[in-house]
Chain A
Amino acid sequence: MLNRSLSKKRKSFEVLMKILMLLSVGLTASLVLFLLVYVLVQGIPNITWELLSTKPSYLTEKIGILPDILNTVYIVIATLFLVLPLGVGAAIYLTEYASNKKMVGIIEYAAETLSGIPSIIYGLVGMLLFSNNMGTCLMAGALTLVIMNLPTIMRTTQESLKTVPQSYREGAFGLGAGKWRVVRTVVLPGCVDGVITGCILSVGRILGESAALLFTAGFAHALNGIIDGLAAPGATLTVALYVYAKEQGEFGVAFAIAAILMVLTVLINFVATLVQKYFAKRRSL
């Protein structure tokens, strides 16, 4: 219908752009599909109970990734535990307390800068700041990740705080509540969704992180409890994948870890979408 009176030049532009767009979308889609299928096909056959439930043994020359799984869990817990109060506090300061526009601008610019710094630089600074003082250990890695994830938690919390209606705050003030009381009873409950979204995003980022951990948390595979684990060097799943693939040529194990990471990534994305949808729905009610 639209083609009735188009000149040749316009028509060829139309067709060319359509083809280019479809090609690009097709390429992107098949790329995602290929990565997903390839990693799962290569990895899943290598996932055995023995691999998941043991630590590497030089005696039997078998590789187990249980320590790496636990290290990942420990580092996620430690990082979130530390970053949450900092990030939420910073967001509350920005939306509730800060009155100086210039200051807000500086803080937001700093947060943007932090999220643009590549992880290898975090790794280096983490090494100088933490590992050189407390030794190479999971805790040094977690502290490095705290700085990395600060902007994420801050941003998601800030976004959810902005959706708390101003009238709630005014109502509370009108009833004679002090600032702190308003923050505690009105504002904080309102940022739960932002905090949860931020946590999910951060977990995803921590799971995928490797460059920042290589020189801060090290790459040992010892089996520890959480307290000893945080004080000892240890590889997370991504670091273990790197070491097994690049330094030891154990591609089977590397693919098994890659498949686990892939499944976790899909899961985290799924949960993140679900949570965001849920909160959006609840807010619109």
Chain B
Amino acid sequence: MKKNQILEKVIHGIFLFLGLITVDCVLMITVYLVISGIPAIFEIGPVDFLFGKEWASTAAEPKYGILPFILTSIYGTAGAIVIGVPIGFMTAIYLSKLASPKVKSAMQSAVSLLAGIPSVVYGLVGMLVLVPGIRKIFNVPDGASLLAAVIVLAIMILPSIIKMSITALDAVPKEYEDASLALGATPIETYFKVSVPAAKSGIAAAVVLGVGRAIGEAMAVMMVAGNVPNMPDSLFQSVRFLTTAVSSEMAYSSGLQQQALFSIALVLFLFIMLINAILNFFLKREKE
């Protein structure tokens, strides 16, 4: 009997350890990023680092200003949301409310496929279809630009937005819609003016999830955005995102340059943590 109790205690301990492993991982990631990201920020100066407009890490007199990356990431994400959210939102309403079960399930598989395509494949297609397309249509010297990245990101966030919005819309109680229909509203009026407001927390969460996806995407953007650390003054400028700033120089960096890359990752991480907190807020409200 005693032996059994000890065994139970030990096993409880093992499971407790396993249960806490996600917490450990989050803590570890945070601590590592902070420890490796903070020194360079202070060496460069927080203001010069965050608001410096010039990034020239390999110059004789290196400059480490990441404002171009921050703005590019914000603009790129905003652009992707502006294009992706309306399309995803409309698709979700149609699939959730109007589509026949067959169409719905076929489209849901298609959307899952879209979500499963590796980002390098998006990058490859973007490189060979989108970039030359932009060059020809807008008659610019190089199509690898902020616009190309925005379009690729808009496509890549579509599945998250569609899937999550469908879940939210499907969960709207049928009585709400019935009541609206009984009062004389048409089905479409009902969906847009009753179902959508009822599902608004879930849809907001879908948008925030999309923001997180877009701001964190690296490889596809790396292949289509041109990767020059310009300020994002125009849609046709070759630009570098926070994510691509980290990945494009990591392979050959050292010293302060490498530390600055870790600082960029820390900034990106802070953005993501903020987005996660917002996402959690909406998800909690959706549950209630």
> Which residues of chain A have a CB within 8 Å of any CB of chain B?
2, 6, 10, 13-14, 17-18, 20-25, 27-29, 31-33, 35-36, 38-39, 85-86, 89-90, 92-94, 96-98, 103, 106-107, 109-114, 116-125, 127-129, 147, 150-151, 154, 178-180, 183, 204, 207-211, 214-215, 238-239, 241-242, 245-246, 251, 254-255, 258, 261-262, 265-266, 268-269, 272-273
Contacts and interface: CB of A to CB of B under 8 A. Distances in A.
B255 interface: no
B275 A116 contact: yes
Interface in B264-287: 265, 268-269, 272-273, 275-276, 279-280
Interface in B10-29: 11-12, 14-16, 18-23, 25-26, 28-29
A183 to B, nearest CB: 8
A21 B90 contact: yes
Given A20-B90, A32-B113, A154-B22, A211 B124 contact: no
Contacts of B15: 89, 92-93, 96-97
Nearest to A111: B22
B125 interface: yes
Given A245-B223, A258-B121, A117 B216 contact: yes
Contacts of B109: 269, 273
Contacts of B123: 242, 245-246
B250 interface: yes
A108 to B, nearest CB: 8
A110 B23 contact: yes
Interface string B79-91: 0000000111111
B29 A125 contact: yes
B22 A118 contact: no
Contacts of A96: 15
Interface string B205-238: 0000000100111110011000000000000000
B114 A22 contact: no
Contacts of A38: 125, 129
Interface of B: 4, 7-8, 11-12, 14-16, 18-23, 25-26, 28-29, 32-33, 36, 86-91, 93-95, 98-99, 107, 109-114, 116-121, 123-125, 127-129, 155, 158, 162, 186-189, 192, 212, 215-219, 222-223, 243, 246-247, 250-251, 262, 265, 268-269, 272-273, 275-276, 279-280
B125 to A, nearest CB: 6
Contact of A29 (B20, B90, B107, B216): B107
A180 B25 contact: no
B204 to A, nearest CB: 16
Contacts of B22: 90, 107, 110-111, 114, 150-151, 154
B162 A28 contact: yes
A108 B197 CA distance: 28
